Structure 1
Amino acid sequence: MEYKDLIRKKIGRIADRLLTVLFSICILIIVFISFQVTTFTTFHIPSDSMYPALQAGDNVLVNKWIMGVRIFNIWDALEDKEVKIHRLPGVGKIKRNDVLVFNFPYPAKKDSLAMDVMLYYVKRCIALPGDTLEIRNGFYRIRGTGEELGNMAAQRRISALTENDSRGVVMESFPWSKRLGWTIKEFGPLPVPAKGQVVSLDSISILFYQHIIRYEQKKELSLRDKLIYLGDSLIREYRFKENYYFVSGDNMENSRDSRYWGLLPESYIVGKATRIWKSKDPADGHIRWDRVFKKIE
């Protein structure tokens, strides 16, 4: 009887230890998931569109606190349903030249915005809500500021391109209008909308904003006899419901960014990429120690 009691006690102690370990693992998993959802998350860089700041094989930490955590129905997003995105208060603001991680806003077709929760891009913020952006001879300019924006070396390379020697780079740009003739070398001026800002609409300005007005209103927008209709209503101006940004890859000759697809809604932004926490060379799988915990600038 004493031997059986001893066995039972040992089994009981082992079971208690296993339950304690399992409980601890569950707590760690919950803490890790909560940390990922509310504070920082990590993303893998698959391409060289942000070279040299980021390289294929880098894994970056993304700070969600700056803009505030997004809250939305993940199941609706996965099923391609309309998603209402809410954001908790942030502790800072996005600045020009910050590197942002966001859901790509045009996964389906060029004339409509839709959030693909599984498709993320990393680009540099060039223009903020309320800015007026221009590209002159390949160089980014914000009216009223002399701040250097983006990768200056890449802009010098774009500046050197000509119509007869574009080196395979697509020169035509957003809003893809022959009437405007904008290119990635000569672009704008493009006023970037801020929440609450009112813009006058005409046959030119509608080219800039038609996609995001459709996105905000969930209605058809059309131009008839030089007049603009939202559904069946004639409109001559529009007040924006959301902030928008203009973003660019540092490797400008090989980057699908706002120069081609337009403006980025604030609600699609996950956060600011701050550091490279791990980096593996895709060619041989070796750790690139010189890039580990490197600050993203």
Structure 2
Amino acid sequence: MIKKTKRQQLGRVLNIALNVFNGISMIIIGFLLMRVFVFGSYHIPTDSMTPSIIPGDYVIVNKPAYGARLFDLFDALEGKKVKIRRTPGYTHVKHNDVVVFHIPHPHGWDKIEMDMFKCYIKRCIGLPGDTLRIVNGFYRMNSDTIRHYGNFSAEQKLSRTTRQEIPKGIYDTFPGDPVLGWNIKNFGPMYIPSKGDCIRLGRTETLIYKKIIEWETGHTLHIERDTLYNGDTPITSYTFTHNY
């Protein structure tokens, strides 16, 4: 009788332990699934989004809005180029949305790569098919001169700032061409490609889109006499395979 009672007690203890283990496992699995498909949390270390988001803030990302991004974790850990899939979202990115995205230049500005473990948080100014300009510090989209894009107070401050007041190395901007002379106060026009767009590559387009074309094709390209080349083959036009 005593042995039977001990076996019953042991059985109850094991049953409780198994239930606790199963419960904890389900909680962990549920949390991981929610992190993948439902939300992400990020700590903000810099002031680039001030005053909307300040250093030290934590932000929660709503993944179902645009759709969760899915990729092979092991390929990402090995530093390989990963194939990304996205679950369907219930909305799409709009002008002035604050978005979180993977860093496209983790190892320098000369090449587009995706670091799947580091993210930026920024405000979306332009969408696929838009033409972006900066005119005396103010963002302009397409032919719209009325709507405000970005942080209007910061743009007002920039418009009143002289070139001499801007630190060296910050004034000149992408693509770093002295003929274009684009800078943080006056930039563009720059067309933002949409999937399926076929663009003729003149001198300016070659400078703007070279890195994107390299990323999409996986080929290392070079510029010779203002023409883009893949080996010995000139590229005079290109059809984009992604939205930007």
Q: TM-score, normalised by structure 1?
A: 0.78
With 232-241 and 181-190 compared, the bigger mean Cα shift is at 232-241
Provide the alpha-carbon RMSD of the alignment. 1.5
Distance in 2 of aligned mates of 1:155 and 1:181: 19
For the 8 Å contact 1:104–1:115, the answer to whether it is kept is yes
**DSSP 3-state at the match of 1:223:** strand
- 1:67: how far off? 2.1
Aligned to 2:115: 116
For the 8 Å contact 1:40–1:61, the answer to whether it is kept is yes
1:17 correspondence with 2:52: no
For the 8 Å contact 2:206–2:226, the answer to whether it is kept is no
For the 8 Å contact 2:66–2:90, the answer to whether it is kept is yes
Distance in 2 of aligned mates of 1:172 and 1:181: 7
Gaps of at least 5 residues in structure 2 are none
**Paired residue total:** 243
Distance in 2 of aligned mates of 1:232 and 1:37: 44
Distance in 2 of aligned mates of 1:136 and 1:14: 73
Aligned to 2:231: 231
**DSSP 3-state at the match of 1:214:** helix
Aligned to 1:243: 243
- 1:225: how far off? 3.1
The letter of the residue matching 2:135 is: R
Cα-to-partner distance string for 1:73-132 (whole Å, 9 max, x where unaligned): 111112211222122222210001111111110111212111112211100000001100
Distance in 1 of aligned mates of 2:230 and 2:83: 21
Aligned to 2:99: 100
Q: TM-score, normalised by structure 2?
A: 0.94
The letter of the residue matching 1:229 is: Y
**DSSP 3-state at the match of 2:31:** helix
The letter of the residue matching 1:162 is: T
**DSSP 3-state at the match of 2:125:** strand
Gaps of at least 5 residues in structure 1 are 245-297
Aligned to 2:141: 142
- 1:167: how far off? 5.3
For the 8 Å contact 2:173–2:183, the answer to whether it is kept is yes
The runs of 4+ residues in structure 1 deviating greater than 3 Å are none
Distance in 2 of aligned mates of 1:178 and 1:108: 24
Distance in 2 of aligned mates of 1:79 and 1:158: 42
**DSSP 3-state at the match of 2:215:** helix
